[in-house]
């Protein structure tokens, strides 16, 4: 009985030992497998990058730096406004346009009727008659002077009268030609440039005189900016400096400073500067915009989209793409240029930085 119990206990000990050995061996195998499959922080496959929605942009080398954004008012250049004047006093018998309408050069704007062209026409006819008489008189007197019948002074007087008649005819022809008046005294006023009607000072049936402009046409092919420079920037802005007006979802509108004021406005503590800038659908005379002033940096840097730069602790960082995934990189931000951030250190031109999925990369690289 005792030997039988002994054999049972021995068998149980053998089974327990075998189970312990198997469990230990299996645990070591699992640990080894886990160690082999553990991935370093930041290592991502192409499919993982796609699933996380991570997009990248290329860091671009630049030597421009942003001095800052300043408020500005869109205005028209001084040469963009052209007045349409009437050559004679009269009244409007027909009006073709309205304020704000786009017009092309040479397009009729209105028809006037005036008595003055009729008077000039009558004077031209009289001048032409006098010219014919003066020509005949000068020819006859010259012949008599050459034959010695009359004094040479008489021939000179006839030539002077001829020249006077020629001037009268020429002047009346010039006035009528420039006015564009017809034989019935009607004058067509036309647009001198292509643009938009900014002002109409007449109405059908109303009078027109030579002292006021019936129409003003604006050429909106280019604009100017009235920049309000804060006092701290007064000595940093100069003619020729580049100006940009950011456009949401598009390329900025680029221009340049043409003048900088020499005095500070005591009320606003700002200096007025003017810049020329190209045309764009979003620009309208009188509109308020923010303009970015750009200068040359002594130390070339790189620009990346503003979305690529994130703050971790007290440092600015970007996530740089590598062959196996992403690494975080501390960078030195020196300014902004529109929607771009200027970086003076920490990244090289040509490197790819993440512009989306930043929160996910922060978690993935938190152990790196």
**Torsion angle (degrees, nearest 10) of CA 102, 107, 110, 115:** 150
Q: Are strands 102-103 and 186-190 parallel, antiparallel or unpaired?
A: unpaired
Does 333 score more than 60 pLDDT?
A: yes
pLDDT band for position 62 (cuts 50, 70, 90): confident
Examine the pLDDT at 35 and tell me if it is beyond 50: no
CB 339 within 8 A of CB 96: no
The pair phi, psi for residue 202, each rounded to 5°, is -130, 165
**Residue 103 confidence (pLDDT) above 90:** yes
* pLDDT at 296 exceeding the cut of 70: no
> Buried b / exposed e across 22-45, counting CB within 10 Å, b at 16+?
eeeeeeeeeeeeeeeeeeeebebe
Question: What pLDDT is recorded for position 177?
Answer: 73
Closest CA to 355 of 368, 344, 339, 366: 339
* 92 within 8 A of 204, measured Cβ to Cβ: yes
Residues whose CB falls within 8 Å of the CB of residue 262, separated by 6 or more in sequence, listed in order: none
pLDDT on residue 220: 81
Residue 32 is predicted with a pLDDT of 36
What is the mean pLDDT of the segment spanning 24-29?
Answer: 48
Nearest to 74 by CA among 234, 270, 276: 276
Identify the top-confidence range among 104-108, 142-146, 176-180, 341-345. 104-108
> Mind listing the pLDDT tens digit for each residue in 119-142?
777 777 788 888 888 888 888 888
Q: What is the pLDDT of residue 9?
A: 45
| pLDDT-based confidence at residue 31 (cuts at 50, 70, 90) | very low
Verdict on whether the full-model pTM lies above 0.85: no
246/184 Cα distance (integer angstroms): 55
Tokens at 50, concatenated = 């796609």
Return the pLDDT at 17: 53
pLDDT on residue 34: 40
Query: From CA 161, how far away is CA 174, in angstroms rounded?
Result: 20
Give 146-192 pLDDT, tens digit per residue.
Answer: 878 878 788 788 888 888 888 888 887 777 676 667 767 788 889 99
Residue 365's pLDDT is: 81
How far apart are the two ends of the chain, measured CA to CA in Å? Answer: 66
Contact 324, 46 (CB under 8 A): no
- What is the reported pLDDT for 336? 66
Task: Sketch out the chain's domains with CATH numbers.
Answer: 51-76+221-364 (2.40.30.170), 85-113+185-219 (2.40.50.100), 115-183 (1.10.287)
pLDDT in tens, 198-213: 899 988 888 888 778 8
Indicate if the pLDDT at residue 313 is higher than 50.
Answer: yes
Cα gap 270→272, rounded to integer Å: 7
Please answer whether residues 339 and 325 qualify as being in contact, where contact means their C-beta atoms are separated by less than 8 angstroms.
Answer: no
What confidence score (pLDDT) does residue 338 get? 59
């Amino acid at each position: 009985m005792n030997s039988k119990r002994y054999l049972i206990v021995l068998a149980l000990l053998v089974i327990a030992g075998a189970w312990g050995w198997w469990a230990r061996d299996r645990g070591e195998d699992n640990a080894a497998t886990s160690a082999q499959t553990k991935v370093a922080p930041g290592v991502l496959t192409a499919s993982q990058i796609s699933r996380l929605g991570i997009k990248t942009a290329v860091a671009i080398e630049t030597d421009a730096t942003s001095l800052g954004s300043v408020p500005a008012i869109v205005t028209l250049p001084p040469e963009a406004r052209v007045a349409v004047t009437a050559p004679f006093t009269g009244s409007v018998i027909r009006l073709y346009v309205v304020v704000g309408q786009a017009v092309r050069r040479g397009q009729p704007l209105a028809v006037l009727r005036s008595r003055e062209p009729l008077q000039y026409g009558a004077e031209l006819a009289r001048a032409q008659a006098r010219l014919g008489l003066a020509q005949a008189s000068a020819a006859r007197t010259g012949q008599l002077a050459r034959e010695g019948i009359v004094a040479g002074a008489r021939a000179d007087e006839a030539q002077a009268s001829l020249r006077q008649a020629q001037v009268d005819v020429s002047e009346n022809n010039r006035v009528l030609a420039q006015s564009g008046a017809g034989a019935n005294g009607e004058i067509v006023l036309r647009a001198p440039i292509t643009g938009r009607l900014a002002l109409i000072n007449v109405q059908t049936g109303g009078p027109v005189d030579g002292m006021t402009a019936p129409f003003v046409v604006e050429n909106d092919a280019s604009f100017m900016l009235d920049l309000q420079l804060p006092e701290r920037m007064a000595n940093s802005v100069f003619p020729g400096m580049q100006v940009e007006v950011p456009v949401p979802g598009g390329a900025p509108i680029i221009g340049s400073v043409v003048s900088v004021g020499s005095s500070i406005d005591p009320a606003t503590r700002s200096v007025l500067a003017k810049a020329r800038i190209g045309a764009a659908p979003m620009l309208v005379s009188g509109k308020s915009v923010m303009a970015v002033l750009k200068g040359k940096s002594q130390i070339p840097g790189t620009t990346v989209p503003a979305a690529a730069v994130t703050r971790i602790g007290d440092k600015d960082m970007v996530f740089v793409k590598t062959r196996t995934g992403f690494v975080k990189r501390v960078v030195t931000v020196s300014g902004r240029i529109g929607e771009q951030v200027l970086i003076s250190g920490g990244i090289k031109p040509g490197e790819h930085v993440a512009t989306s999925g930043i929160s996910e990369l922060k978690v993935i690289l938190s152990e790196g």
